[in-house]
Homo-oligomer: A and B are copies of this chain.
């Protein structure tokens, strides 16, 4: 199959999660991503789970994020290493990094320098507070958790009354990574028209703040400060999880009064339908504290599967609250091919999450395993940069790049 980003080359100076998410999307769409690593490798190579023993080429975390990419081990502290990087930037379309804000400048690859090396290059940086930030913020280390906390997202996530909870996946990194991908694709389009590259400055805090949607609209327009609501919806009741007889959870999403009447019947509680405290959604929201325990008691009388069958037959919107085991083994996920098997060097066959970009002609694909540390160093220097065999051997001997793996 053809790929949408064929012909695009990315110099990927990223590590761990935010920018590697961006280069994963670009690689899944067919860009050639050259992931530059230190001799000890991307920190993510040390993150478990490990498949078959602790080793830099066995981290399932790293492998999942870096499929389809190439690995070039390059010593950027050496003058010769930086020369190789300069040569690569000269023949690339995108430079991607998520160092602390001053690192690229210190290495000699700040935006002004990049433009001199390649006026068509697009540079995308991801950091916690943005490159253009107040001085006291710019240098702060940016963990996902800092972005989740700082942005306000944690303050609206968790059980009612607190404590604030972290979202269980690193959405501070990932959402910034998605927004960076959009920024780069937009910049590529603009370059087709103008011939010019540009700088894309993505901040994890901006990214999460921009997805708070109604919470921001509510505060800036009414002054109301929303808090966490557990598993419930802020303005529809009942629209939340209930625990069932077998301890599993079921979401019942009763979005209107007609569904409410049906739901009461199915619960054997027709008496609630026209109850003066519960008969409309605003009333149910007002009397939530009284209503939910009543419903919870009824929902406890059947197993999750019994409720699913009943709700399915009567078109009541519902969902299980799937565990990771349930969703990974789910027939729908199988049908959508959202977990795919790769043949990973050293590790063997293993499953990774597929691309959610289901395009009919150029879908996001997992077409290659993740690279072993430094697997492509020699190939990149020979094939992409046209270095002679002797020059490559010398760089290997001097430790600027690794020897063949």
Contacts and interface: CB of A to CB of B under 8 A. Distances in A.
A203 interface: yes
Contact of A190 (B2, B49, B192): B2
Given A155-B322, A189-B189, A221-B51, A214 B143 contact: no
Nearest to A223: B325
A362 B187 contact: yes
B332 A133 contact: yes
A153 B151 CA distance: 20
5 contacts: A49-B222, A151-B322, A166-B230, A188-B189, A216-B324
Contacts of A215: 168-169, 324
A130 interface: yes
B182 A48 contact: no
Interface string A57-94: 00011011100000000000000000000000000000
A400 interface: no
Nearest to A316: B141
B140 A358 contact: no
B324 A206 contact: no
Interface in A184-239: 185-190, 192, 194, 196, 198-203, 205-207, 209-233, 235, 239
A294 interface: no
* Interface size grouping (class) on chain A: 35 or more
A146 B317 contact: yes
A319 B208 CA distance: 15
B167 A200 contact: no
Interface stretch (A247-255, A379-387, A389-397): A247-255
Nearest to A206: B356
A351 interface: yes
A165 B157 contact: yes
Contacts of A371: none
Contacts of A98: none
Nearest to A361: B198
Contacts of A171: 167, 171, 175, 211
A181 interface: yes
A129 B319 CA distance: 12
B2 A194 contact: yes
Interface in A158-185: 158-159, 163-171, 174-176, 178-179, 181-183, 185
Given A221-B350, A362-B186, A324 B205 contact: no
Contact of A168 (B145, B170, B228, B360): B228
Contacts of A211: 169, 171, 174
B321 A164 contact: yes
A94 to B, nearest CB: 13
Contacts of A25: 182
A165 B156 contact: no
Nearest to A235: B48
A169 B155 CA distance: 11
A367 interface: no
